[in-house]
Copies of this chain bind each other. A is one copy, B any other.
Amino acid sequence: MSTDLAEFHRWFEERRAAHAYRVTRVPLTKLDGWSADPETGDLLHRSGRFFGVHGLDVRVPGRAVEEWRQPVISQPEHGVLGILVRDFDGVPHCLLQAKMEPGNVNALQLSPTVQATRSNYTRVHRGRAVPYLDLFTTLGRGRPLADALQSEQGAWFLAKRNRNIVVRTVRSDEEVPVLDDFRWLSMDEIGWLLAVDDLVNMDTRTVLSHLAGSAGPAAARFHGRPFHSLPELLNWLTHHRTAEPTVRRRIPLRETTGWRVTDDEVSHEEGRYFRIIGVDVRAGSREVAAWSQPLLAPRGQGVVAFLVRDIGGTPHVLVQARAEAGTRDTAEIGPTVQCVPANYAHLPGDRRPRHLDTVLAAASAPPPGRVLFDVVQSEEGGRFHHARNRYLAVRVGDDVPLDQGDAFRWATCGQLAALNQYGGLLNVEARTLLACMGFIP
C-alpha cells in the first residue's frame, strides 16, 4: 500500500470516529412514518414519496424458475449520483465522500460527490441542502463526461433508475471547497480502493463505470478488435428484449404467494431470497438526523463474474442477456454469472447457473494471473441490509468455446463502455464489473 493509501485509511477511520450513528432493528409495524396500506398491505411512507414495498407477479420465459411472486421496491423518482472530476498537477481526481447508510456493512463507505434521491434534493425530508448538487443539476456549470439514466437491481427494484453523471470542472484551477467527509482521490487510488471489500459503495461504482474505459488505470483491458460488431451486439440484445417478453404485474403485497407478511417482517416461506425488515436510524452526519425505513435483507452472498477470454489477441468478456423481475426494459446486458448460489440449492442440478462452477473452481485454485480480481462489494445500503456480492473476473483459455448459445455473447470492455454511455443497456452488476475491469490494476 502506498503512503497515500495509508493516509486515506487514517482519514477514513477519523471520519468513522466522527460519525455518531445507531441503526436499530424494529418491527415493520412500528416504523415511524410508514404504514401498511389497509387494502393491499403495501408498505408506504405517509408523504407518498421516497419508496414503497409492493407485490409483483412475474413470468420470465426461459429462467430456472419461470413464474413467481415476490415483494418488490418501487421508487419512481430519479436520484442523482454524481462524481466531480478535477485535475491536480495534470492528474485527474474524483471527489468522493465518506457516507453512512443504514444497511451498510461497516456503516461508512465511499460515496460519489453527490448521492441524493429526488426527495433528498427537493428537500421533502426538510433536511440540509445537498452539497455540490448544483454542479450536476445546472446545465453548463461544468464539463459533462457522462450522463445517463441507469437501472439498479432488477431482482429487487421495480424499474428503478438513477441519473449517473460525471462532471469535470471547467478550469483545472477551479476552487472547489472540500467539506468534511469529502476527499479528492486519484484514479490510481480509486483502483486500489476498489480491490478492498465493502469500501467503494455501489453508487460510486456505477458512476465509475462511465470512466473505466477512458480514465481507469487498467483501461488497456478495454482496447482491441471486437469479435462482434456493435450492431451485432445491439441486434442480440434487442432480440432478447422482444422475443419472449417478461410479463409482470404489480399485485398487493399481501397476495405474494409463498411469502409471509408479519408485523415484524416480510419473509419467504422457505427462508430463501430475502426479507423486508425495519430499522430506526440515528445519524449525526446525514441530511436528516433520525428516521425510520424498511430495508431489503438478502439471505445469502451472491457471485457476480465475468469469464475473460482472448479472441484474436483481444480480451473479451462473456455477457448474458438478462431478464429480471423488475428490469425496466425486459432484458439488459449482464455478467457471465450473476446469482446467489444458495437460492439454487433446492433446484435440480441442471438448473444451476451456467459457468458458476467454472468461476468458483478457477477462484479457489488459481494459477497466477488467472483471477483478475476477486472482491466482495456491498450493494446500496440505503435500501438493502448487508447485501454483498463476490465480484470476480476470471481468465479462461481457448478450451472455452466461442459459441455459448443465444443467451451469451463475447464483447470487449470497450464495447460495453460504449454501450454504457446511453443508459439502460448494462445492468448494475455488469457496471460494477466494468468499473473493476477498468480500475483494479
Q: Which of A140-148, A215-223, A252-260 makes up part of the contact surface? A: A140-148
The answer to whether A239 touches B139 (Cβ under 8 A) is yes
Q: Which of A116-163 contact B (CB under 8 A)?
A: 137, 139, 143-149, 163
Q: Which of A43-51, A228-236, A264-272 makes up part of the contact surface? A: A228-236
Indicate if A370 sits at the interface (CB-CB under 8 A). no
Indicate if A425 sits at the interface (CB-CB under 8 A). yes
Q: How far is the CA of A365 from the CA of B235 in the complex (A)?
A: 45
Indicate if A238 sits at the interface (CB-CB under 8 A). yes
Q: How far is the CA of A63 from the CA of B92 in the complex (A)?
A: 40
Indicate if A406 sits at the interface (CB-CB under 8 A). yes
Q: Which of A393-433 contact B (CB under 8 A)?
A: 406, 419, 421-423, 425
Q: Of B143, B238, B245, which contacts A423 at CB under 8 A? A: B238
Known contacts A238-B423, A406-B139; is A232 also within 8 Å of B144 by CB? yes
- The size of the chain A interface, using a CB distance under 8 A, is 33
Q: How far is the CA of A406 from the CA of B78 in the complex (A)?
A: 20
The A contact surface, by secondary structure, is mixed
- If A80-B242, A149-B329 are given as contacts, then 5 extra A-B residue pairs at C-beta distance below 8 Å, sorted by A number, are A137-B239, A146-B234, A234-B422, A238-B423, A422-B425
Least CB distance, A56 to chain B, in whole angstroms: 17
The answer to whether A234 touches B406 (Cβ under 8 A) is no
Indicate if A25 sits at the interface (CB-CB under 8 A). no
The answer to whether A242 touches B163 (Cβ under 8 A) is yes
Indicate if A390 sits at the interface (CB-CB under 8 A). no
Least CB distance, A190 to chain B, in whole angstroms: 20
Q: Could you say which of A144, A230, A406 has the most chain B C-beta atoms within 10 Å of its C-beta? A: A144
Q: Mark A223-251, 1 if CB is under 8 A from B, else 0.
A: 00000011110111011011101000000
Indicate if A193 sits at the interface (CB-CB under 8 A). no
**In the complex, what residues of B have CB within 8 A of residue A72's CB?**
none
Least CB distance, A398 to chain B, in whole angstroms: 22
Q: Of B143, B146, B236, which contacts A139 at CB under 8 A? A: B236
The answer to whether A231 touches B406 (Cβ under 8 A) is no
Q: How far is the CA of A423 from the CA of B65 in the complex (A)?
A: 30
Indicate if A323 sits at the interface (CB-CB under 8 A). no
Indicate if A317 sits at the interface (CB-CB under 8 A). no
Least CB distance, A238 to chain B, in whole angstroms: 4
Indicate if A165 sits at the interface (CB-CB under 8 A). yes
The answer to whether A231 touches B139 (Cβ under 8 A) is no
Known contacts A139-B239, A242-B78, A242-B163; is A421 also within 8 Å of B234 by CB? yes
Q: How far is the CA of A39 from the CA of B412 in the complex (A)?
A: 53
**In the complex, what residues of B have CB within 8 A of residue A231's CB?**
144-147, 421
**In the complex, what residues of B have CB within 8 A of residue A241's CB?**
78, 149
Find the B residue at minimum CB distance from A424.
B424
The answer to whether A147 touches B421 (Cβ under 8 A) is no
Q: Of B143, B148, B230, B245, which contacts A421 at CB under 8 A? A: B230
Least CB distance, A165 to chain B, in whole angstroms: 7
Find the B residue at minimum CB distance from A241.
B149
